[in-house]
Amino acid sequence: MLRYAQHDMQRGNLSTLSGVLIQTLLKEADMFSKTKLAIGLALLLTLFFTIPVFAGGWAVITLDELPMNVTAGEEFTIGFTVLQHGKTPMNGLTPIITANLYKEEQFTVTAREEGEPGHYTATLNLPKEGDWNWTIEAFSMQQKMPTLSVSAPKVAIVNESDSVTESTTQTSTSPNFVIATAAFVIGLVSLFFAVQRKSKLAASITALCLMIGLALTVVGTSVPAVEAQGESSSEVIESSLSQVEYGRQLFIAKGCITCHYNSKAASRSEYWTIEPTGATNLSNFSADPLILEMRLKDPTSVNSNSQMPQLELKKEEIDALIAFINSD
């Protein structure tokens, strides 16, 4: 009996030990499975983003020109070209343009084919003033564009400007008008005495008053125009971008950042740069402006085998890009 009891105790201990071992093995297997699952998901995500690139699934999105002087509530049109590998125009796409303002306002529109192969246009109407972030999504690429500054409606600006101009005009012309009127009145009275009494003094006073009246009249009408001209020139200077900043925005808008990384343009977390073979990292790059001008105007003029697309850049765009690339 004692032997059977000892045997039962040993068997019970063995069962308990086996249970513990099995639970431990299951836990280890579960942890191992989770680890494998995490690794597998990471690999799948990596393949998801990289396979399209190796399979030819990337393109350069190039804006025709940067949208400038955009006003809230007013329509404006943007045009852009989608080039596979920066070379082949892509037709039959349905590009989506998304704009948002502080995650409160969102605007989405679908672009349509128009003009040359691979070219698309879209009409936007942003309802509020502010700095809008916007993207263009086409052919597996979602390209972030430079921040779009939208100004207040023109009606409000014009009314405010008119009130300021009117106030300035009244302030500057009223004293001159009073003095000129008084001079003319005195001149007429002096003229009367000069004719009636043939007084040389009265004639001199008449001539002097007429000269003063005419001078003040001319000054009173010309000063407001000069002031207005000065204000408009000042507004133009304040609203314009610096050449380097204009070049930075063009570097993004023209799709240069898709192939050439440049830390001065944006961080890697903001834009996805393909960096294909032969594409120079331009973060610490500078070159002779004449060479850069030739390359930007016609890439094949510098290298007949160049894979860089012909962007049809304007002279001011080329100058701005050169200033940005060679900036500190």
Q: pLDDT tier at 310 (50, 70, 90 boundaries)?
A: confident
Q: 158-195, pLDDT tens digit by residue?
A: 555 555 555 444 444 556 666 767 766 676 766 666 66
Give the pLDDT band of residue 270 (cuts 50, 70, 90). Answer: confident
65-69, 192-196, 293-297: least confidently modelled range: 192-196
pLDDT, tens only, 223-268:
444 343 444 333 333 446 899 999 999 999 999 999 999 999 988 8
Cite the beta strand spans of the chain per DSSP E: 59-63, 70-71, 76-84, 88-89, 96-101, 105-110, 112-113, 119-124, 130-138, 141-144, 148-151
- The whole-number average pLDDT for the span 78-105 is 93
- DSSP 3-state assignment of 99? strand
Q: Helical H runs in 102-153?
A: none
pLDDT at 289 > cutoff 80: yes
Reported as a single tens digit per residue, the pLDDT across 114-141 is 999 999 999 999 999 999 999 999 987 7
What is the per-residue pLDDT across 135-151, written as a single tens digit (0 to 9) for each? Answer: 999 987 789 999 999 99
Q: What is the distance of C-alpha 231 from the center of its chain?
A: 26
pLDDT of residue 62: 96
Tokens describing residue 37:
């699952």
In the predicted structure, residue 214 carries a pLDDT above the cut 60: yes
Distance CA 100, CA 205 (A): 71
At the fourth CATH level, which superfamily is domain 59-151? Answer: Immunoglobulins (2.60.40.10)
CATH number of 243-325: 2.60.40.420
- Tell me what the mean pLDDT of segment 50-62 comes to: 65
